[in-house]
Structure 1
Amino acid sequence: MIPPDTAQPAPRDSRPVVATPSRGVPLAVVIVAAVLAGILLFLALNARRQALSAPATSPQAADIPVSVAALPLYLPPPIPEPVPAPIAAPAPQVRPSPVPPVPLMTRQPQPSYAPPVPPPVQIAPSAPVQRNAGGPTLVVDTTQAATPTEPGAGPRPGFNPLGLPSQSGTTTERARAGMFANRATTVPQGTLIPAVLETGYDSTRPGYARALVQRDIRGFDGSQVLIPRGSRLVGEYGADTAPGQNRAGIVWSRLIRPDGMTIEIGSPAADTVGRGGVRAKVNSHFWERFGSAILQSSLDVGVNLASRAGNGSVVVLPGGSQALTGRFVQPNVVRPTLSVRPGTSVSVFVARDLDFSTSREP
């Protein structure tokens, strides 16, 4: 049994007790010493490199300092004043002696013989030379071009694109008021007759058009139906379209009622709100109009590039691009094509009073 005096107290911590290592040189001191050693090594190597690269030459005598006595100062002589140059006296002018005039010898006119001029001989006009039907013929147009109208000017005299009867006279006359002779049987001027196209429209070639009236049209007083629904309209159109045109022009020449009554209507076609012409689908033929111009531009660019890449050599194309210009189709020759489908709603703008008094009342 261990006596109580020799008994050791129980440690508070259950972990084993380990002796700590002794402290050595601090880390900062080691780093500073390494840096100093590196600097000293660099300086030593640099001094050795400079000693090896320096040339082994002896110093020149001019580099050795020698005590030389100061030389006396030298003053330049004074600059002499400029002496003005002597002015030469003007030389005396010698006047030329007058030369006597030389007498001119006049020649006597020699007689000359002039033969009489024969009277002009009138050449009878030769008979026209007959040519073959397929041979080339030269035609010279001696007519003068029409003078273009100024911008903003009114319509030229006789301007009638749709072939309608003129409403304005050449002389200014007094307009007098009047009354319709038969108001019940008269369709007044300016009436819109709605209709639907039965045939299509194509401006490639001129042709005829046909339409059906969609509602009853009454007389001036509204008491009678003068144009019943289902009446047929017959008209015609041309093929003279202009660039930028997008409305088809149709002139209705005849109206046929279901009962067989006909009348020469002579009125143009309009849209549903009365605007002139019928809205059409436009085919501008872009590639046909500008394809030749694009091809010509491509040829010109190719010729220029070939000339630059030739380094002074001459590039000659057979015929040249300018000779091909006449073979291309000019843009103003190809005209746009307008087309309207059957079943399109149109209107007839009545251009003159229509009198149905001679017909039998329905």
Structure 2
Amino acid sequence: LGGSSAGAAAMPSLPNLAIATPDAAAPQLAEAAQGDRAAKQAFMAQASNQRTVSGERLVAPASPNIVQAGSIIPAALITGIRSDLPGQITAQVTANVYDSPTGRILLIPQGARLIGEYDSEIAAGQTRVLLAWDRLIMPDGRSIVLERQPGVDGAGFAGLQDRVNQHWGNLLKAAAVSTLLGVGAELGADSEDDLTRALRRGSQDTINQTGQQIVRRQLNVQPTLTIRPGHPLRVVLTRDLVLEPVGGAR
């Protein structure tokens, strides 16, 4: 009984810790709420724009043979995408694109090639690959620089989405290995002498750290996004392109 009383007296006071935690968090929550209110009040207190007439004026197109910003170039991937490594991509225009002012002059024919690249830096939970298009090559070999025009899907959402591999299997394997290492480190006979017990405890710490590192390494592995060849896409022009007619007007 005396040993039990001494062990009970040595136990930390858990109720005090449980009570102190909400009290310590309360000022932080109140400060965050006050900051949110201050930001909203500052937004409402911003000075209004007194100018009611724009100083800009309409300008004529730079050329009759122009595809203006906001136009869409429909295409499909020729090369696939796998986000594990950075790389270049190629797509083919799948429909004719005509001039913006009249819609009668063919400027980008079906079959033209698009050259670009994709963003291989994938964040946790990300399911879409960002695209940027750098060059447009006509069937006759002429080309124009596109200056990193964005790629979107058929609905206009940024990037493309196809297959996503979150590597859950590898993470579960790492967790299982970590658990087995921890269980093995805990096993020990009650009749161990002091030297054996000290050695076991030292190895137990090392094994636990190794298991944690294995799991942490798998948590840091970014998802793998795959876009298969043939996937449809759109190139959204953010600036005007002055081109040359291809064939006659329709």
TM-score, normalized by length of structure 2? 0.65
* Gap regions ≥5 residues in structure 1: 1-149, 154-173
SS at the partner of 2:70?
coil
Structure whose CA Rg is larger: 1
> Equivalents in 1 of 2:66, 2:88: separation in Å?
27
- 1:203 counterpart letter in structure 2: S
Answer whether contact 2:117 2:131 (CA < 8 A) is retained. Answer: yes
* 1:274/1:234 CA distance change after superposition, 3 Å: same
**1:96-127 CA-partner distances (Å, limit 9, x unpaired):** xxxxxxxxxxxxxxxxxxxxxxxxxxxxxxxx
Answer whether contact 2:66 2:242 (CA < 8 A) is retained. Answer: yes
> 1:252: which partner in 2?
133
> Equivalents in 2 of 1:318, 1:342: separation in Å?
53
> 1:352: which partner in 2?
239
Higher helix share: 2
How far did 1:226 drift? 1.2
How far did 1:290 drift? 4.2
**Equivalent in 76, 89, 104 of residue 196 of structure 1:** 76
> Equivalents in 2 of 1:180, 1:339: separation in Å?
43
Higher strand share: 2
* Gap regions ≥5 residues in structure 2: 1-34, 40-53
> Equivalents in 2 of 1:223, 1:360: separation in Å?
10
- 1:274 counterpart letter in structure 2: G
> Equivalents in 1 of 2:56, 2:177: separation in Å?
64
How far did 1:291 drift? 2.8
TM-score, normalized by length of structure 1? 0.46
- 2:174 counterpart letter in structure 1: S
Counterpart check, 1:277 vs 2:163: no
> 1:295: which partner in 2?
177
How far did 1:295 drift? 2.2
> 1:50: which partner in 2?
none
Counterpart check, 1:238 vs 2:119: yes
> 1:319: which partner in 2?
203
> Where do 4+ consecutive residues of structure 1 move more than 6 Å?
none
- 2:124 counterpart letter in structure 1: P
Aligned-residue Cα RMSD (Å) equals 2.9
Matches within 5 A, 1:154-233: 176-182=56-62, 184-220=64-100, 221-233=102-114
SS at the partner of 1:295?
helix
How far did 1:329 drift? 5.1
**1:175-201 CA-partner distances (Å, limit 9, x unpaired):** 613223246322121222111111111
Q: How many pairs were matched up?
A: 188
> Equivalents in 2 of 1:275, 1:334: separation in Å?
26
Answer whether contact 1:203 1:238 (CA < 8 A) is retained. Answer: yes
Answer whether contact 1:288 1:334 (CA < 8 A) is retained. Answer: no
